[in-house]
Chain A
């Protein structure tokens, strides 16, 4: 299947700082990428849909000013957690769909474990 690479895999930052997470589609171009968040023992919650060349679409309850999304190219989307606080500690996962595939399969990155201290 298609490959999606996410970096870093884990990051620890101080409260009040910002953290950037990158999501790359390695062997296909993705006009749309998705950012999820997963709390322990819970499902993946969609945070936002990242659209290449336009503004991201945020889910209800997700602060767009706190979770900045940039999708400047067809292979890269970034999520920046601004002014991080301990409650932002979570597992963040990106995914992308290969438009060449007829189905709705989305391929996921490895995830980023963010710990805010």
Chain B
């Protein structure tokens, strides 16, 4: 069964850092682009970042450039989102998803940035 399971969310203060993980099973992780999408409470969906199969290409939404880093560990089927200098407006559920076309989604992990 195909599964994407995010973890690492929590409550942090503005300016702090957090690393999200996404554990993948049920498909060949190393063959797919991977994506992070977020959803602020009561709001719509926002694409955050993408990473190529070998990690050699990455793309980010402007609002997180220079603060967030997407990476992957193909040997262990793990996707990461390292988040620095977190802001209140980064508060959201963060979903990992398969492919640029966002075919499959995890259940999400909640990140709350508040003082």
Determine if chain A interacts with chain B.
no
